[in-house]
Amino acid sequence: MQIHPIDFRYGTPEMKTVWSEENRFCCVVSAETALVSALASCGIIPEADANAVSSHAHEATLARAKEIEAEIGHDLMGMVKALSEVCGEAGRYVHFGATSSDILDTATGLQLKQALDILDAKLEGFLAVLLNRAEETKHLVCIARTHGQHALPMTYGLRFAVWAEEIARHRLRISEIRPRAAVGKLTGAVGTLASLGKDGLRVQAEMMRRLGLSDAGLTTQVIARDRYAEYIFLLANIASTLEKIAVVVRSLQRTEIGEVSEPFGKNQVGSSTMPHKRNPVKCEQVCGLARIIRGMVEPALLNNTLWDERDLTNSAAERITFPEASVLTDHCLKVMTAVISGLEIHEDAVKRNLDLLQGVNLAESVMLELTRRGMPRQDAHEIIRRASLQALDERRPLAEILSAVPAAAELLPAEEIAGFFTAESYLGLSVEQTESLIQRLRG
């Protein structure tokens, strides 16, 4: 019986696999096998026994481990015993010198490494889509909005480019967090390496080398959870970026704005009762899931506040926070990549909205020109402010209103003023900034 929507509705196979029971078991076996190999490499146990463990490790099964766990009530020891059973006499060295968290936290490090690789690849794909859309639309002039109100002209290309640069920062964050989060340990029951003594650091270094992980440095019985909290916060940060993009798409798809539309299948149904509906359901889904992902930040932070050298309050929470936050973030990345890739832009609506206020959205350009021609800036601001309000109230072009203001008309004659009310003349460096970012991020 399936209960959680991750089981049947959300997530990609690759990220679900990372956090599956089967992969967790494989990561534990990998950690135990690397430990035995490291012990042999450091001359602590016979090489033949290490080879035997490596040769037979694949025969250990999750099913057998769970059988043992049901009997003894300890998940890690269930896995240790299942691995030891298939290794014959060499099985006596499985888990030698380790405590449970040495293996479990190292297995988590392997899973985080896998998850970060998947997320980085998805971010790279999304970044490519955003850069493509930025290039396609770098000359498409539109109205920008602040506080939900018309502001100044910009381009769709710049909008996509701003999002692309944010996604690029998330890729940078992944590269920075990887050596802090994808780590393992072999420091023993309270972090003293007492079980292996003077050989402990050597064995740990060799074990982590074989696993492709960094060591966690000083620890208690467990790796400090600030590392994992940083990972969860990264996911929440990515989810918030995706939600921000989704909110803009939803806003621009409003009937009254109508500048863009989510991809919509030929046979897709928008409403069970209103056949005409074409709702931005994918973006709404991302916005909803982002709330869940961000909700994982607090438990991740609290998981670092353990008693003394450790307690077990983090364990149950991490069984939920790691898979849920990882799977849902990966899912949202996939959804938004498809949305932006297939986003329809309705250029007629873009043009209509750009011209909606008959020049009021270009008031800043006229104010600055009056200042350049000798009018005090604050005086120019007040004249343009009053004229803009009048233009909005009377539904007349701002240029027409200003022509009747003597102080403005004296400096900016009617035959010149029209040139300051074309959106294309007041784009600043929208196109240049977009092109520069595309070149920089495409390398």
Strand pairing report for 214-215 and 183-184: parallel
Annotated active-site residue in 147, 175, 261, 388: 147
d(CA 313, CA 310): 9
CB atoms within 10 A of CB 251: 15
Residue 20 host element (H or E): none
Distance CA(384)–CA(389), nearest Å, equals 9
Structure tokens at 406: 């003597």
**SS3 assignment, position 144:** strand
Could you tell me the CA-to-CA distances from 257 to 44, 98, 208, 250, 270 in Å, in that order? 72, 62, 55, 10, 19
Handedness of CA 63, 6, 337, 158 (dihedral sign): negative
To the query of whether residue 346 is one of the catalytic residues in this protein, the response is no
Ramachandran category for residue 143: left, alpha or beta (phi over 0 → left; psi -120 to 50 → alpha) = beta
Residue 271 annotated to the active site: yes
Alpha helices in 361-429 (DSSP H): 363-372, 377-394, 398-403, 406-411, 414-417
> Can you say whether the dihedral through the CA atoms of 390, 394, 400, 403 is positive or negative?
negative
Tokens 């600055």 belong to residue: 368
Count the Cβ atoms, other than its own, within 10 Å of residue 331. Answer: 22
Measured between alpha carbons, how far is residue 359 from residues 95, 362, 384, 402 in Å?
75, 5, 12, 11
Tokens coding 40:
């042999």
Q: Could you say which of 55, 271, 425, 436 is catalytic?
A: 271
Buried residues in 254-282 as b, exposed as e (16+ CB within 10 A): eeebebbbbebeeeeeeeeeeeeeebbeb
Any idea which residue has 């800036």 for tokens?
377
Q: Which amino acid is at 161?
A: A
Backbone angles phi, psi at 114, to 5 degrees: -65, -45
Catalytic machinery residues: 147, 271
